[in-house]
Structure 1
Amino acid sequence: MSTSRQPKWRKKMAPVSRWLPGITRLATLLLLISAVIFVALRVAAPFVVSTGMVRSGIEDALSRWTGYKAEIKGSPELEFWPTPRITLHQIAIRQPPNAGNKLLGTIDSLSADFSLIEALRGHASFHEFHLLRPNLSLTRDQQGLIDWTYAGQLAKAIDGAHQDGNAQVLDRKLDAEVGAITVEDGTLNVTDLATSKTYHFEGVTADINWPRLSSGMSAVLIARTAGQDLKLDFSSRNPLLVFGGKTTELKASLASNLVTASFSGLGSITNLTGLSGNISATIGDMPALLAWSGKSIPGIESLKSFSISSDVLSAANGLRFNNVTLGLNGATATGVMDISSVRNNRAKLGGTLAFDTMNLKPFFDAFALRLAAGEETATPDGGPLQRLDLDLRFSAKEMQLAPFNLSDVGASVIVSSNEAKFDIGDSQFEGGTMLAHLEATRGDFDGGGKLQMSIRGADFGALVERLQLKGPLPLTTGSLDLNLKTAKPLWTAGLGDVTGQLTFHAGTGSIANLDVEAIRNQSAQQKFFPLSAAGDHSFPFTEAQLTANFSAGSAELEDVSIKGAVETLTLSGIIPYESNGLALSGSLQATDDTRAAELPLLPFFIGGSWPNPVISPVPVLTQPAPSAQ
């Protein structure tokens, strides 16, 4: 027997099918009614909304926000499609006449959306502002804050905001809707009372997203100043605290063709107390940046690029930089640094940095720049660099000090108001070791300085070969001590301004292109001859020592003795090293006195220029033999 029975699920769904069409019809009806009302309001709005009321409302809103008086000269333009919007022209914002009538700025045109419902009720509520060619003038006070004069809505909110943990808290009475603000082709002048300077920005374009005064804010600003385009990105959950100079969370970045920089963390626009976060900065062309900023420091050309990335934290009397990555002319270092305040309003930069490879010349230049900074005023505090003390330690696996290469280097820079020292405390140099000390005299550092260098056990033969030096030079492992000084500023001193002494000592080695046997043969035949004509053999020696005194652009050789197994070469005289000239007297004689008859004393004069001087033998006067008694 068959039965006709519907499934249970069909019975349960039957009621839904009955009421679903009704819901659809109701929703459709509501949408139609809303559309009719929307269109009706847009059609009727021009007839029922007062242009004067909207204009007056935006005047009041501007006055309320700025604390100044808004004056609108141009005729307003109203649009109602697709959204109600008003555009005002020729706007001036200034103090009331009884308060000085000071002009805050002008705006060519201002557009804003407004609430149609509120307008129909006789009130004006605005949002989504667009400012075309605003020209504003602001003042930055001694504390670093923008002077929000006359306590408008914004100023009251800034004053009334307080901090609760990491968030800003604002009384409801002070809160207000802001919305999106766009700026096109603006001009901004900021007068800084602390420096008595006015900064001019033109072509200002900005996009600001700030739903309410109590909410977070993000902004992008593009402007041009002194011929350079800048882009600033800023965001904070607590913008009112930021504008009030309090320490709070913020992010900011600056980008241009000359410099990029960013900060993220806790910070303040007025002071460094409580600072904590991460900073980074990159300068691709330091001379160009200084030229753009109107600064001029002699010798800066070698300090081409600079970058830093670091965690930063406020410390006692200064800042602490951890996890530092520092770049200088392509060299990279890691370490820690700190900046602290010392007596007499001076700042001190200290730290320890470790390089893999580095070029020491920029550090020498930076050292000289630090000293030269006060040259123009001839006082120790003549410039910002002069007011910065240094105490830096750094190491490097490889270091270039043209034309030399060092390895496993430990060095330091110490500069204060009365001393300036650069030390290489330890380094490997050509198979030996090298120590160096550079010091500037006290005062304003323009009284001169000194250089001391000590080399032990270095392979001078390898150095001569690598540098491709010409002429008869010692190929040996030896030690050298150099002690120089000058009375002129280090950054202006030339070779002719240097005095001092050099000593050199070596064991076994040879002098290339010095054939003593050929010299004796040529001396017996010629009154003078070039060194190159005396053969190309080397002169092996067992011991060599040299002392040279530097003065007035010349080196005076004394106590030069190169002892070979058979003969000994001695030299003395003057080398004007600025002209590569030579004026030396020398001699060859037997190392062993028992061979004096076989190898008699041969004096000679060396003149001409390096590396192929001329040798002129000097006749030896023979003393008459004593007569027999």
Structure 2
Amino acid sequence: MLPVSRWLPGFARIATSLILFAAIVFVALRVAAPYLVSSGLVRSGIEDVLSKWTGYQAEIKGAPVLEFWPTPRITLNQIAIRQPESSGNKLLGTIESLSADFSLIDAIRGSARFHEFHLLRPNLSLTRDQQGLIDWTYAGQLAKAITSARQEGGAEVLDQRLDATIGAITVEDGTLNVADLASGKTYHFEGVTADITWPRLSSPMTAVLMARTSGEDLKLDFSSNSPLLIFGGKVAQIKTALTSRLITAEFNGIGGISGLAGLSGNMSVNIPDMPALLAWSGKSIADVETLRAFSIESDIFSAANGLRFNDVVLGLNGANATGVMDISIDTNARARLGGTLAFDHMNLKPFFDAFTLRLAAGEAGAPEDGGPLQKLDVDLRLSAKEMQLPPFQLFDVGASIIVSSNEAKFDIGDSQFEGGEMTAHLEAMRGNFDGGGRLQVSIRGADFAGLIERLQLKGPLPLTNGSLDISLKTNKPIWTAGAGDVSGQLAFHGNAGSIAGLDVEAIRSQAAQQKFFPLSAVSGRAFEFNRVDVVATLADGSAELRGVSVQGKDETLTLSGIIPYESSGLALSGSLLATADAKRAVLPLLPFFVGGSWPNPVISPVPLINQQAPGLQ
């Protein structure tokens, strides 16, 4: 074997000669190219390419500009793409400037092959059909490839005769108008920029698109190993992300653009400002301000007549939940949202707002069919370790929301409330502006003394543990009903406790001396009691006390009458009477009238003329 020192110099000389020869040929071709390449040939070639790809007719008015350094490139101006004259000569769009790289050797041989396209200020109009697909009406190569692509073994397969080289496509400052036949709307996008990498029609594709629509900037990232299948409305591997100030959304899995059948993957949506998003989309709903932030992350897949969401992580106004959900559509085209969600903590008010808005969607100002909310049924099971319904707070809550076309029900089946237990049922009905609602609340063993103190309620109120039952109804929609529109029953039963600022001994003393006196004059001590019972009827903006009995060790206080709670007024008759018959001689019956306004009414003794204590008849 020859030593390296013997053959290396010769090899180096040959390699250097080859490199120099290639460089000379490269430079010579670039220098001679303007004389060897026909600009008309390249221009007609790119016209043919555009026509072949789109199925439309490309018209170029501007003179072509050829560049050969650092790569051969043609730039064409004032391009119009139209239907064939025989089909109406409809304008698909215009392009202010189109540049593309081309093969110098092929051009010298009399043919042109293009790649690396750059479109400056294109203005295109597309149609989206009833199935959600772009209308590729005219049979260009792209349309034929989309139609012919098929799936075999999970991969996209394309006939080699329809395959073609593309390379990269960039778009600068474009305009896009999409006429959506399903909705009858036309969507306008401006400032469109795009960076598309698609080596061949049969290759994977990645794209980044940015545009502005209705005053908002959007960014769309898209990639797929089977783009032709996706564009053809079939399902295939796809990864896409939408980013804007109002919403971010991502999907990675198996899916399509024309429907939800065959969908399988992972998705996430984040909406930081729901009212702003609805307003931007032209679907603003009044009084939706409390439904502010929304997010969801989930595995998603198609199920019978709908979608299934597993491993859901849901966020609503800062509250987070986990669970499962599903959306199904019945034969009447009504959608149903169901599932089970578990919260660590949550604010119930946004759910109540959504609850009433769901029904109010069919009221004044909405479309004749009630709007999209009226086409959605809901059946959700909720649980929460801590639930807020300002100003109240519940713990270990189990609840449900059931909404159908004309009624909605919200139930709290179990919860801890102020050391006791609470159940509740809210029912609302809708119908030609005369729907109504019902509310039933049952509380057992709650610390009302702590609740009154925490809410800083004023006036002589019973500080005790007890039970409360409320049953209310209204004939007006609950989202418009005021206090005067509600009627029903209230019953409160309390154990031993006290009423602060109510000195019964002072009441007797003042009654013997004064014709009337304010409650503040007899508020020096608390009234200790063994039991309290309150029964009231609510109607026409007032509460009628039908039987109030506060049983103390020595005396029993009774009350009855009317409390117009909208005006804080009082019109009550009451009495003090010895609890035990044996003490009635020492503590005789003392009737009185209570008037004025809460929390400092005026007490006026009533002369005793064969009267019985109010509430004891």
Tell me the TM-score normalised to structure 1 length. Answer: 0.95
Distance of 2:290 and 2:566 partners within structure 1 = 24
Deviations 1:306-330, CA, capped at 9 Å, x for gaps: 0000000111111110000000000
Name the SS of the counterpart of 1:300 in structure 2: coil
In 2 relative to 1, CA 587–119 (structure 1 residues): closer, same or farther, beyond 3 Å?
Answer: same
Which of 1 and 2 has greater Rg?
1
Letter of the structure 2 residue corresponding to residue 256 of structure 1: S
Deviations 1:408-458, CA, capped at 9 Å, x for gaps: 000000111243110000001011100000001254685111100000110
- After superposition, residues 308-327 of structure 1 pair within 5 angstroms as 308-327=296-315
Distance of 1:466 and 1:154 partners within structure 2 = 70
Matching of residue 560 in structure 1 with residue 531 in structure 2: no
Conservation of the 8 A alpha-carbon contact between 1:84 and 1:116: yes
Q: Name the residue aligned to 2:138.
A: 150
Matching of residue 75 in structure 1 with residue 66 in structure 2: no
Letter of the structure 2 residue corresponding to residue 453 of structure 1: V
Structure 1 window deviating more from structure 2 (519-528 vs 428-437): it is 519-528
Conservation of the 8 A alpha-carbon contact between 1:313 and 1:320: yes
Conservation of the 8 A alpha-carbon contact between 2:359 and 2:406: no
**From 12, 21, 24, the counterpart of 1:36:** 24
Letter of the structure 1 residue corresponding to residue 567 of structure 2: S
Conservation of the 8 A alpha-carbon contact between 1:378 and 1:444: no
Letter of the structure 2 residue corresponding to residue 550 of structure 1: L
Distance of 2:331 and 2:7 partners within structure 1 = 86
Name the SS of the counterpart of 2:183 in structure 1: coil
Matching of residue 137 in structure 1 with residue 153 in structure 2: no
- After superposition, residues 73-472 of structure 1 pair within 5 angstroms as 73-376=61-364, 381-441=369-429, 443=431, 446-472=434-460
In 2 relative to 1, CA 65–446 (structure 1 residues): closer, same or farther, beyond 3 Å?
Answer: farther
Letter of the structure 2 residue corresponding to residue 168 of structure 1: E
**From 467, 472, 491, the counterpart of 1:503:** 491
**Percent of pairs identical after alignment?**
74
Q: Name the residue aligned to 1:627.
A: none
Q: Name the residue aligned to 1:9.
A: none
- After superposition, residues 480-499 of structure 1 pair within 5 angstroms as 480-499=468-487
Conservation of the 8 A alpha-carbon contact between 1:375 and 1:446: no
Conservation of the 8 A alpha-carbon contact between 2:177 and 2:189: yes
Distance of 1:27 and 1:230 partners within structure 2 = 53
Distance of 1:459 and 1:213 partners within structure 2 = 72
Q: Name the residue aligned to 1:474.
A: 462
Q: Name the residue aligned to 1:518.
A: 506
Shift of 1:548: 1.2
Distance of 1:557 and 1:498 partners within structure 2 = 16
Matching of residue 59 in structure 1 with residue 40 in structure 2: no
Shift of 1:380: 9.0
Conservation of the 8 A alpha-carbon contact between 2:430 and 2:477: no
Distance of 2:592 and 2:110 partners within structure 1 = 114
Q: Name the residue aligned to 1:527.
A: 515
Shift of 1:552: 1.2
Distance of 2:397 and 2:314 partners within structure 1 = 18
Matching of residue 577 in structure 1 with residue 565 in structure 2: yes
Letter of the structure 2 residue corresponding to residue 238 of structure 1: S
Letter of the structure 1 residue corresponding to residue 282 of structure 2: G
Q: Name the residue aligned to 2:614.
A: none
Structure 1 alignment gaps of length 5 or more? 1-11, 624-629
Across the aligned residues of Structure 1 and Structure 2, the Cα RMSD in angstroms comes to 1.3
Shift of 1:622: 7.1
In 2 relative to 1, CA 197–251 (structure 1 residues): closer, same or farther, beyond 3 Å?
Answer: same
Q: Name the residue aligned to 1:6.
A: none
Conservation of the 8 A alpha-carbon contact between 1:380 and 1:417: no
Distance of 2:434 and 2:165 partners within structure 1 = 61
Distance of 1:380 and 1:550 partners within structure 2 = 35
Deviations 1:437-495, CA, capped at 9 Å, x for gaps: 00012546851111000001101001011111111011111001000011111111111
Q: Name the residue aligned to 1:20.
A: 8
Letter of the structure 2 residue corresponding to residue 93 of structure 1: I
Q: Name the residue aligned to 2:615.
A: none
Conservation of the 8 A alpha-carbon contact between 2:212 and 2:218: yes
Distance of 2:519 and 2:79 partners within structure 1 = 90
Deviations 1:488-529, CA, capped at 9 Å, x for gaps: 111111111111110001121111111100111111111111
Distance of 1:379 and 1:290 partners within structure 2 = 16
Letter of the structure 2 residue corresponding to residue 321 of structure 1: F
Distance of 2:357 and 2:317 partners within structure 1 = 16
Conservation of the 8 A alpha-carbon contact between 1:128 and 1:181: yes
Distance of 2:269 and 2:27 partners within structure 1 = 55
Conservation of the 8 A alpha-carbon contact between 2:500 and 2:523: no
Name the SS of the counterpart of 2:362 in structure 1: coil
Name the SS of the counterpart of 2:373 in structure 1: coil
Conservation of the 8 A alpha-carbon contact between 1:371 and 1:445: no
Conservation of the 8 A alpha-carbon contact between 1:585 and 1:605: yes
Distance of 1:562 and 1:579 partners within structure 2 = 25
Shift of 1:49: 0.8
Structure 1 window deviating more from structure 2 (155-164 vs 414-423): it is 414-423
Letter of the structure 2 residue corresponding to residue 428 of structure 1: Q
Name the SS of the counterpart of 1:542 in structure 2: strand
Shift of 1:273: 1.0
Tell me the TM-score normalised to structure 2 length. Answer: 0.97
Shift of 1:375: 1.0
Distance of 1:534 and 1:416 partners within structure 2 = 54
Distance of 1:303 and 1:363 partners within structure 2 = 8
In the comparison of the two structures, how many residue pairs are matched?
Answer: 611
Letter of the structure 1 residue corresponding to residue 289 of structure 2: E
Shift of 1:401: 1.0
Letter of the structure 2 residue corresponding to residue 271 of structure 1: G
In 2 relative to 1, CA 333–445 (structure 1 residues): closer, same or farther, beyond 3 Å?
Answer: farther
Shift of 1:179: 0.6
Structure 1 window deviating more from structure 2 (376-385 vs 21-30): it is 376-385
Name the SS of the counterpart of 1:302 in structure 2: coil
In 2 relative to 1, CA 379–150 (structure 1 residues): closer, same or farther, beyond 3 Å?
Answer: closer
Q: Name the residue aligned to 1:3.
A: none
Shift of 1:379: 8.6
Letter of the structure 2 residue corresponding to residue 201 of structure 1: F
Name the SS of the counterpart of 1:598 in structure 2: coil
In 2 relative to 1, CA 431–622 (structure 1 residues): closer, same or farther, beyond 3 Å?
Answer: closer
In 2 relative to 1, CA 380–86 (structure 1 residues): closer, same or farther, beyond 3 Å?
Answer: closer
Conservation of the 8 A alpha-carbon contact between 1:448 and 1:490: yes
Shift of 1:377: 6.8
Letter of the structure 2 residue corresponding to residue 294 of structure 1: G
Deviations 1:525-560, CA, capped at 9 Å, x for gaps: 111111111132111111110011111111111111
Conservation of the 8 A alpha-carbon contact between 2:359 and 2:407: no
